[in-house]
């Protein structure tokens, strides 16, 4: 009985700090080891679909909603998803209201973000995340949703870097994106194999995957939601950035210590990357390779996740076995 009271005291002590957004270092450690919680989905579960960032075109959700129903899930669409406020899916208070309702509703088991773009960081500080500690929910999305993945990780909760509305095919044909997301949602094992890449660094490690969009990771550094990369495998992807900006962000991650403690690096899609009038002289992958060449960790390039298709699901918060050799790359998630 005394042990139960001790656990109860520790849990409520941690809950106070999490709810108050105050994280001494030792509390952050306890949160990571004690509160990491993965609630995989089951048939019949209700799923919130919200738009915390960029605006949506009318009807863009239809393929997503169809897929969720086909998986025997019940989508609950936020009241304001099709609202518009210039580049945003409605004003900040409307996007925040939909997201808060998804968090508060005990019947909702996962939160699907409909689109990235920009806007999540504008509302995150005014959302009450404390209900998630008693009612954990999976978060699904990528790109700007990296902001929310970082908060999920900070709270010790699992999330999925996975497809949003634009990646759900109108004709129902799957390129692997949908199958991988369904497996991640329902807690099935995931296995990926990649061909070798000339920039790969061989090695094997097992650990937790974190990360997402490079621009957002760099943007969060120095904020309350900066990623804790120590002892983690880092995933990076990006879109529409000039090469010199990619270089600046990678240098920033190195100088801020975000690369020093990682145990592996998985590099996804870098698409529509631009050069200037004066050529930068390196590709995006060459820029990344330059910053991690002395880390002596396994590194793999060209994983099919990001803004192109396929966009394979990557569970954040699950154990990942990462093996890189001269012949192939193997990635295994045991849920």
Residue 23 pLDDT: 43
The pLDDT of residue 324 is above 50: yes
pLDDT grade, residue 38 (50/70/90)? confident
Q: What is the pLDDT of residues 139-160, one digit of tens each?
A: 999 999 999 999 999 999 999 9
pLDDT value at position 33? 43
Confidence of residue 37 (pLDDT cuts 50, 70, 90): low
Structure confidence at residue 335 (pLDDT): 76
Q: pLDDT tens, 242-279?
A: 999 999 999 999 999 999 999 999 999 999 999 989 99
Q: Which residue has the higher pLDDT, 21 or 86?
A: 86
User: What percent of the chain clears pLDDT 70, i.e. is strictly above it?
Assistant: 89
Sign of CA dihedral 163, 167, 170, 176: negative
Mean pLDDT of all residues in 221-232 = 96
**189 neighbors 148 (Cβ within 8 angstroms):** no
pLDDT at 20 over 70: no
Mean pLDDT of 105-134: 98
Question: pLDDT band at 62, cuts 50/70/90?
Answer: very high
pLDDT at 4 over 70: no
Q: Is pLDDT above 50 for 34? A: no
Give every CB contact of residue 188 below 8 A, 6+ residues apart in sequence: 182, 335
Mean pLDDT of the chain: 90
The C-alpha atoms of residue 318 and residue 215 are separated, in whole angstroms, by: 24
In angstroms, how far is CA 327 from the centroid of its own chain? 28
Q: How far is Cα 69 from Cα 43, in angstroms, rounded to an integer? A: 10
| Across 273-300, average pLDDT | 97
pLDDT at 212 over 50: yes
User: pLDDT digit string (tens) for 75-109?
Assistant: 999 999 999 999 999 999 999 999 999 999 999 99
CA separation for the pair 138, 95 (Å, rounded): 18
Q: Is the pLDDT of residue 30 over 80?
A: no
Instruction: Write down the pTM of the prediction.
Output: 0.89
Q: What would the two tokens of residue 302 be?
A: 């060209």
Question: How many angstroms separate the Cα of 59 from the Cα of each of 74, 305, 309?
Answer: 18, 24, 20
As given in the structure block, the two tokens for residue 225 are 């939601």
User: What is the distance in angstroms between the CA of the first residue and the CA of the last residue of the chain?
Assistant: 32
Band of the pLDDT at 2, cuts 50, 70, 90? very low
Q: How far apart are CA 296 and CA 311, in angstroms?
A: 28
User: Can you tell me the distance from the alpha carbon of 202 to that of 222, in angstroms, rounded to the nearest whole number?
Assistant: 32
**Cα-only R_g, the chain:** 19
């Amino acid at each position: 009985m005394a042990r139960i009271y001790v656990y109860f005291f520790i849990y409520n002590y941690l809950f106070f700090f999490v709810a108050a957004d105050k994280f001494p270092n030792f509390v952050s450690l306890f949160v990571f080891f004690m509160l990491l919680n993965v609630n995989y989905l089951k048939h019949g579960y209700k799923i919130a679909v919200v738009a915390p960032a960029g605006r949506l075109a009318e009807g863009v959700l239809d393929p997503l909603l169809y897929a969720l129903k086909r998986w025997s899930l019940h989508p609950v669409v936020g009241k304001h998803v099709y609202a518009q406020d210039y580049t945003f899916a409605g004003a900040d208070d409307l996007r925040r209201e939909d997201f808060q309702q998804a968090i508060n509703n005990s019947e909702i088991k996962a939160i699907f973000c409909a689109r990235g773009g920009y806007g999540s960081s504008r509302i995150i500080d005014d959302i009450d995340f404390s209900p998630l500690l008693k009612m954990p929910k999976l978060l699904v999305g990528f790109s700007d949703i990296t902001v929310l993945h970082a908060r999920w990780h900070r709270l010790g909760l699992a999330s999925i870097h996975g497809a949003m509305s634009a990646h759900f095919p109108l004709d129902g044909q799957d390129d692997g994106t949908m199958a991988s997301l369904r497996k991640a949602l329902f807690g099935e094992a995931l296995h990926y194999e990649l061909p070798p890449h000339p920039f790969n660094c061989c090695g094997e490690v097992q650990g937790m995957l974190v990360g997402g969009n490079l621009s957002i990771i760099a943007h969060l550094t120095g904020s309350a939601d900066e990623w804790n990369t120590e002892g983690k495998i880092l995933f990076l992807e990006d879109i529409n950035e000039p090469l010199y900006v990619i270089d600046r962000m990678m240098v920033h991650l190195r100088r801020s210590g975000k690369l020093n403690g990682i145990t592996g690096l998985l590099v996804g899609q870098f698409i529509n990357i631009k050069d200037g009038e004066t050529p930068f002289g390196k590709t995006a992958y060459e820029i990344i390779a330059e910053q991690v060449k002395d880390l002596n960790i396994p590194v793999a390039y060209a994983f099919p996740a990001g803004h192109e298709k396929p966009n394979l699901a990557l569970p954040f918060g699950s154990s990942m076995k990462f093996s890189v050799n001269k012949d192939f790359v193997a990635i295994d998630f045991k849920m």
